[in-house]
Amino acid sequence: MPTLLVDHPLVAHRLATLRDSATDRPNFRAALDELASLLVYEACRSLPVDSATVTTPVGEAPAKRLSATPILVPVLRAGLGMLNGALRLLPEAEVGFVGLKRDELTLLPDSYVTTLPHELAGRTALVLDPMLATGGSALHTLRLLERCGAGRVSLCCVLAAPEGLAALDEADFDHVEVVTAAVDSHLNEVGFIVPGLGDAGDRQFGDY
């Protein structure tokens, strides 16, 4: 499974803000929103385009337009903070939602909402989830998209853990790529990424 590590000064700068425990909620939200746009930009690099012609104020110019717009799939609740950043680049995109809550004992995802088109007919999907930790939430979402007939899927995440990447590799999703700002060291005993940035949902919305 390909993993694209986005190595860019603007990405690194926003990641530093997200990691910093002194970053308050408004600035955490702003940095996540901006970083989401940068990750989605990279995830869209290989989208197919159609040739076109446009009329400028002084003549005709060759142009390219997206052949089809990907569907955006934020994984709730933490992925909600990445949605507006993605929509700035793809304002016409449809949005599906996958709501998952982690069972703190088993570390497995507990689904509470799914709103996806019944038939994606090979369309590209961009999954938005700040953390790829154990891989449980990602695998659940990828299986849902597979059942809906999605084509290529890019998982856009701020951080990935080796354990999560290994879980996706083992599942053998050959049409999936991971686009991330960093691959961290490991998971701790309660399934948090180390050094990580804490709980992305709590830091955006509160600890409840």
Whether 173 and 145 have beta carbons less than 8 Å apart is answered as no
Task: Quickly tell me which residue has 């996706």 as its tokens.
Answer: 168
Q: Is 134 a catalytic residue?
A: no
CA 96 to chain centre: 13
65 part of the active site? no
**Are β-strands 3-5 and 176-183 bridged in parallel, bridged antiparallel, or unpaired?**
parallel
Catalytic pick from 102, 123, 141, 203? 102
Q: Is 106 a catalytic residue?
A: yes
| Structural contact between residues 75 and 100, judged by C-beta atoms closer than 8 angstroms | yes
Is there a catalytic annotation at residue 202?
Answer: yes
User: What distance in Å separates the CA atoms of residue 129 and residue 132, rounded to the nearest whole number?
Assistant: 7
106, 110, 115, 147: the catalytic one is 106
Catalytic residue ranges: 102, 106, 199, 202
